[in-house]
């Protein structure tokens, strides 16, 4: 384990945050951790060597060279950013805010602008990959911000991901994340429809996935396809209600930027249906169950 | 070059048929070729060693161990199959019909049944891959029919593709092909929307594809994504009007089998729009131009 | 009862055909009736004064001044038209074919052309209105054909409908019928969604229909809205499987004419879902049940 | 002109507000007017007998028996409601707030709750009808609130509308308004598609509307159908950008209440396209131009 001597404020130990934190801690970064639920943080602390639990985002930020956050939505990001106990109040000029949450492009622009006004550095760094990928340091990082600041983040990004894409502006990184998630959600919808059609015609979904998996030869198509074929939606690597949030963010971006997204709208309606039917805690690939229901296939048992 | 001593009736020297024929001829199969346009066939004959031009599907079939067809739609397949000059009239009991065209599941069932009644062997063998893949023997073959018959086709499949998936029934193979094409068309639509949204937000499409290509790591997503990003739709590896036919076949299958396919319906409408705007001779990935138009982006120049 | 002295071949005593036949018979036209199921025809004959049962479309046509047909689809219309026992073979130059079925524009063009070649007169005359409207002579007739022929039909149209719209060509009348049905189906879908949303928000559907009924002040919106609000889908004035056929015809017309119809596609998918769930024998307004299901509302009981 | 002796604070003299204000003033209510743009208010004052111009929502409210507002969105309603210069601060216990704006159900709930807490009476009263209907006192009013308060509003409602529907809760009235507008927008979309299909098939849109108008016999279908058929989108009785707002409110309501609304989503995407193409200042029925574009029909000239 290297000793970096660098302090990293780390905000948010959720499904994605925790494995990233672990990789940072194991690489020698000294974490100053804050989590909304202090009990959950306490449970996880033993897996984070040298980490120190803090009582506020402010405390986690003070004296850190980086403050890294991974939270579930705009509201949570706002809550840790602003106010006297927030990150912005405690950052000094040497600190870089690294915001890995999937947030709206509107909030990203706002944060970019607030940090610029306060002469603080802000790097949006949403990531692609599910929790397993996070554990294995296989995330793809989309970094948006001043290139010098992104450069300084390279040691962090190097221990959490397999590669970093750079954009000059924070909202571009966040928009990029939305584009990617939209494409993934589209793949889920496409597979859900195709496998349901195949099943109605007598093709077992797992047989169909053998073929589609080979043709696409993509970890995304294979991974989600196998989940859908086996109707195995637990544990939820990425929960449907959070997935819905991302679809909403893409649609809001389309409204603001003037881009109609009929496929996103279709997915939006599928998610609302799945949520209305009480499936929000399953993996987001369970949205495919709506295609099965609509085809009159025997109801999925959500084991 | 091996000498197989086997005669193969080969019907249809189109975009996909010709490279497959070439690979068969170069592997030593002696082709008995028929093509609707005799002039086109004559042009291509020099590239098919030992091949002989025939004047009817019947003549191409007579004495062959296999009769292989690759045609553009149901109507063309019917035309070469039935009637006194058709394949069925000329097949003997040793001959195997290998039908590689993308056809309706209804016609596939009908062909399966007609051949069975006539005590002739029928193998549906639609393929995945564009013309370049066909040239490089990288097709994926989906074979549907009696396993003994598929087994006997292995030497043919071996020189045109990189792998064969087997189904017991012909219409399952054809349905499988429709599922795959639906998934590919969905990917095109998803990328078209995502890249248009990104472009409206300031992200150059080729930058967006760097990220999406890495996340998906799929030749399908990368290949189509790069075409869409560069708006490079000529030459048409797979022409939009033929792509539309495949989407229609999937929707018809959904109607018959009782599976609603809203994503397929969306794609259906996109294709009708692109065709109504005169883009039918471009590669089918040009259907993405509809997303750009709808977002008010500068009109694609179809070079 | 007037005495017209005119003979009318009448083909098809279904849900719509029978009330029209009754009105014609009661107005004094002498009907020569043919129905595919002769038993059903026999049952209904007592309600058709002066009507005579015939053993083939040919016999019903012979010597008639008009031959009027009301059938459920293209296939049935083809079956009574062509062949030695069909209408076309038996029409003389004084006879006018009046085809009230909802058929494809392709078949309508074909019939127009066949009749013209045979120097026989063809008038497409699809009607708007449900069986109750047919009984009360409140249909709207859309007549397409040579104006002189339509003129001669006026006495017939006058006893079955409240008004006639004229088009110079038969397929225009049939296309017009498809446009109208598409608009009605759209109203059903719109009401289905709106009432489900309202119900999730606490507004009883019948209360919502009070408002919408007043704002629209349309018999179509009120009639279907009340059925949907009360979930009263039996008896089926217009059966869902027939309604689906009409939606398909509109979509096919869009494919042929180059008009994308995303709302029609949405309705198409709703119907496939409702049919896959076994609701095909209910009134077509029961397609609204899909909106209730998708919103997680208590399952409709189809009494 | 009756003398009511009642003072009515009137907030918002826009397209809809002004004709309602005029009818109230002419019926003898003494208006205390406030409008964000004071110049526009001054221009219109001569048409409002006895009306007095106020310098804040607060001043318009003070001493009034009613305060009536008609504004364009949630933000504007919030702005006049809260704060020291807002309505709520100035209402006394005899005053009834009558909020005719089309707002979100979330804001309506919030207003209902704030007023209840402050022991002030709140009646949501969104209206159906375009500016011409407002002038002619032909609006339909959907009133939501305590029945005693609605009862007291009857004299006001009587001079602006042709009828009032009552709901016990404010958000139900606002939701009802969204349901109605969704149904109207659906009618516009349906007519846009149907007329484009007809036009591609050779049926002039105005001919098609003769038929559809008769079948539907609805002022909504006829009014919008004639606008669409003639492509006459100016002046904008209801501007597309405001119409889009209403569609968004319905979709947000669906997200919150758990009702998927695929037809609303389709309309949503049509509006984004029309807005992206710069048509936001036209009447919202101009969203039908997207159907014409997609069918490759000659571009609409927006005179």
Q: pLDDT tens for residues C175-233?
A: 999 999 999 999 999 999 999 999 999 999 999 999 999 999 999 999 999 999 999 99
Task: Give the span between the Cα atoms of C173 and C100, in whole angstroms.
Answer: 10
Out of A265, A270, A276, closest to residue D269 by CB: A265
B273 lies within 8 A of chain D by CB: yes
Cβ–Cβ gap A220/B219 under 8 Å: no
Pairing outcome for strands A127-128 and A139-144:
antiparallel
Judge contact between B213 and B221, C-beta under 8 A: yes
Residue tagged active-site, from B40, B177, B200, B281: B177
Cβ–Cβ gap A276/D261 under 8 Å: no
Low-confidence stretches of chain B (pLDDT < 70) are 1-4, 300-303
Which of D240, D254, D269, D287 is the best mutation test for A, with the most CBs of A within 10 A?
D269
D268 lies within 8 A of chain A by CB: yes
Out of D254, D259, D272, closest to residue A255 by CB: D272
Query: What are the structural domains, with CATH classification, of chain C?
Result: 7-168 (3.40.50.720), 175-294 (1.10.1040.10)
Smallest CA–CA distance from D260 into chain C, residue: C295
Q: Give the DSSP letter of residue B36.
A: S
Smallest CA–CA distance from C252 into chain D, residue: D197
C295 lies within 8 A of chain D by CB: yes
**Three-state secondary structure readout of chain A:** CCCCCCEEEEECCCCCHHHHHHHHHHCCCEEEEECCCHHHHHHHHHHCCCCEECCCHHHHHCCCCEEEECCCCHHHHHHHHCCCCCHHHHCCCCCEEEECCCCCHHHHHHHHHHHHHCCCEEEECCEECCHHHHHCCCEEEEEECCHHHHHHHHHHHHHHEEEEEEECCHHHHHHHHHHHHHHHHHHHHHHHHHHHHHHHCCCCHHHHHHHHHHHHCCHHHHHHHHHHHHCCCCCCCCEHHHHHHHHHHHHHHHHHHCCCCHHHHHHHHHHHHHHHCCCCCCEHHHHHHHHHHHCCCCCCCCC
pLDDT confidence of residue C40: 97
Task: Give the span between the Cα atoms of B139 and C6, in whole angstroms.
Answer: 68
C220 lies within 8 A of chain D by CB: yes
Phi-psi region of A207 (alpha: psi -120 to 50; beta: other; left: phi over 0): alpha
The pTM (predicted TM-score) of the whole model is: 0.97
Cβ–Cβ gap D276/A255 under 8 Å: no
Cβ–Cβ gap B180/A211 under 8 Å: yes
Residues whose CB falls within 8 Å of the CB of residue C35, separated by 6 or more in sequence, listed in order: C11, C12, C13, C41, C44
Q: Which of B52, B149, B51, B136 is nearest to B99 (CA)?
A: B149
Out of C273, C276, C295, closest to residue A276 by CB: C295
Residue tagged active-site, from C22, C44, C177, C245: C177
Q: How confident is the model at residue D299 (pLDDT cuts 50, 70, 90)?
A: confident
Low-confidence stretches of chain A (pLDDT < 70) are 1-4, 300-301, 303
Instruction: Please report residues of B whose CB lies closer than 8 A to that of C255.
Output: 248, 272
Whole-number average pLDDT of chain D: 96
Residues whose CB falls within 8 Å of the CB of residue C54, separated by 6 or more in sequence, listed in order: C9, C32, C33, C34, C60
pLDDT confidence of residue B3: 54
Distances (CA, A) of D216 to C185, C224, D126, D197: 12, 12, 25, 19
B201 lies within 8 A of chain D by CB: no
Out of B265, B266, B276, closest to residue C258 by CB: B276
Instruction: Please report residues of A whose CB lies closer than 8 A to that of B171.
Output: 201
Q: Which of D127, D36, D41, D44 is nearest to D75 (CA)?
A: D36
A vs B, Cβ pairs < 8 A, gives 208
Q: Mapping DSSP to helix (H, G, I), strand (E, B) and coil, where does residue C99 land?
A: strand
Subunits with 3+ Cβ pairs within 8 Å of B are: A, C, D
B171 lies within 8 A of chain A by CB: yes
B vs D, Cβ pairs < 8 A, gives 24
Judge contact between B160 and B181, C-beta under 8 A: no
The interface predicted TM-score of the complex, written ipTM, equals: 0.97
Alpha helices in B146-239 (DSSP H): 147-160, 170-200, 205-216, 219-230
pLDDT digits (tens, 9 = 90+) for D160-211: 999 999 999 999 999 999 999 999 999 999 999 999 999 999 999 999 999 9
Phi-psi region of A278 (alpha: psi -120 to 50; beta: other; left: phi over 0): left
Instruction: Please report residues of A whose CB lies closer than 8 A to that of B140.
Output: 211, 214-215
C276 lies within 8 A of chain A by CB: yes
Out of D262, D273, D295, closest to residue B294 by CB: D273
B177 is catalytic: yes
Smallest CA–CA distance from D271 into chain B, residue: B294
Out of C265, C270, C276, closest to residue B269 by CB: C265
Task: Give the span between the Cα atoms of B164 and B297, in whole angstroms.
Answer: 42
- For CA atoms B164, B168, B174, B177, give the dihedral sign: negative
In angstroms, the separation between the Cα of residue C140 and the nearest Cα of chain D is 7
pLDDT digits (tens, 9 = 90+) for D33-55: 999 999 999 999 999 999 999 99
Instruction: Please report residues of B whose CB lies closer than 8 A to that of A105.
Output: 201
Q: Mapping DSSP to helix (H, G, I), strand (E, B) and coil, where does residue D192 land?
A: helix
Instruction: Please report residues of A whose CB lies closer than 8 A to that of D269.
Output: 260-262, 265
Judge contact between D51 and D27, C-beta under 8 A: no
Cβ–Cβ gap C261/B269 under 8 Å: yes
Instruction: Please report residues of C whose CB lies closer than 8 A to that of B263.
Output: none
Whole-number average pLDDT of chain B: 96
Task: Give the span between the Cα atoms of A100 and B29, in whole angstroms.
Answer: 58
CA atoms within 13 A on the CB side of C27: 19
Smallest CA–CA distance from C266 into chain A, residue: A266
First vs last C-alpha separation in chain A: 40
Residues whose CB falls within 8 Å of the CB of residue B264, separated by 6 or more in sequence, listed in order: A193, B182, B185, B186, B247, B250, B251, B254
Instruction: Please report residues of A whose CB lies closer than 8 A to that of B198.
Output: 175-176, 179
Judge contact between B212 and B187, C-beta under 8 A: no
Residues whose CB falls within 8 Å of the CB of residue A76, separated by 6 or more in sequence, listed in order: A12, A36, A101
- Beta bridge partners, D167, equal D144
In angstroms, the separation between the Cα of residue B251 and the nearest Cα of chain C is 10
D226 lies within 8 A of chain C by CB: no
Low-confidence stretches of chain C (pLDDT < 70) are 1-4, 300-303
Q: Which of D286, D184, D199 is nearest to C176 (CA)?
A: D199
pLDDT confidence of residue A1: 47
Subunits with 3+ Cβ pairs within 8 Å of D are: A, B, C
D266 lies within 8 A of chain C by CB: yes
Instruction: Please report residues of A whose CB lies closer than 8 A to that of B202.
Output: 169, 172, 175
A252 lies within 8 A of chain D by CB: no
Cβ–Cβ gap A265/D261 under 8 Å: no
Out of A260, A266, A273, closest to residue D273 by CB: A260
Out of D105, D140, D216, closest to residue C218 by CB: D216
Helix (H) or strand (E) run with residue B79 in it: helix B74-81
Pairing outcome for strands D139-144 and D127-128:
antiparallel
Q: Which of A49, A86, A93 is nearest to A71 (CA)?
A: A86
Which of D260, D261, D275, D294 is the best mutation test for B, with the most CBs of B within 10 A?
D294
Q: What is the mean pLDDT of residues D11-29?
A: 97
Instruction: Please report residues of D whose CB lies closer than 8 A to that of A266.
Output: 262, 265
pLDDT confidence of residue D1: 47
B258 lies within 8 A of chain D by CB: no
Residue tagged active-site, from A177, A200, A222, A245: A177
Instruction: Please report residues of C whose CB lies closer than 8 A to that of B266.
Output: 262, 265
Task: Give the span between the Cα atoms of B18 and C197, in whole angstroms.
Answer: 55
Distances (CA, A) of D288 to A170, C191, D273: 37, 20, 11
First vs last C-alpha separation in chain B: 40
Which of A241, A255, A267 is the best mutation test for D, with the most CBs of D within 10 A?
A255
Q: In this model, does residue D302 exceed pLDDT 90?
A: no
Q: Catalytic amino acids of D?
A: 177
Instruction: Please report residues of D whose CB lies closer than 8 A to that of C250.
Output: 197
């Amino acid at each position: 384990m290297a000793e970096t001597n660098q302090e990293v404020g780390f905000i948010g130990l959720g499904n994605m945050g925790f494995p990233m934190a672990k990789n940072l801690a194991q690489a020698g970064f000294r974490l100053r951790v804050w989590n909304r639920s202090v009990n959950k943080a306490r449970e996880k602390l033993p897996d984070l060597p040298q980490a120190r639990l803090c009582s506020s985002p402010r405390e986690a930020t003070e004296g850190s060279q980086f403050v890294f956050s991974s939270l579930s939505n705009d509201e949570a990001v706002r809550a840790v950013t602003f106010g006297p106990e927030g990150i912005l109040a405690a950052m000094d000029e040497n600190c870089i805010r690294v915001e890995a949450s999937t947030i709206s492009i509107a909030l990203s622009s706002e944060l970019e602008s607030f940090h610029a006004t306060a002469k603080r550095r802000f790097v949006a760094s949403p990531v692609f990959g599910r929790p397993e990928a996070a554990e294995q340091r296989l995330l793809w990082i989309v970094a948006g911000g001043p290139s010098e600041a992104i450069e300084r983040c390279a040691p962090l990004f190097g221990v959490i991901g397999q590669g970093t894409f750079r954009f000059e502006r924070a909202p571009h990184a966040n928009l990029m994340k939305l584009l990617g998630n939209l494409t993934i959600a589209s793949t889920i919808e496409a597979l859900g429809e195709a496998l349901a059609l195949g099943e109605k015609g007598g093709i077992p979904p797992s047989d169909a996935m053998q073929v589609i998996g080979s043709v696409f030869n993509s970890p995304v198509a294979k991974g989600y396809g196998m989940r859908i074929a086996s109707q195995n939606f637990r544990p939820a690597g990425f929960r449907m209600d959070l997935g819905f949030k991302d679809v909403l963010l893409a649609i809001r971006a389309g409204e603001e930027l003037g881009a109609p997204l009929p496929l996103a709208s279709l997915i939006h309606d599928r998610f609302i249906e799945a949520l209305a039917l009480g499936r929000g805690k399953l993996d987001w690939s369970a949205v495919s169950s709506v295609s099965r229901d609509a085809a009159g296939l025997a109801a999925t048992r959500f084991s």
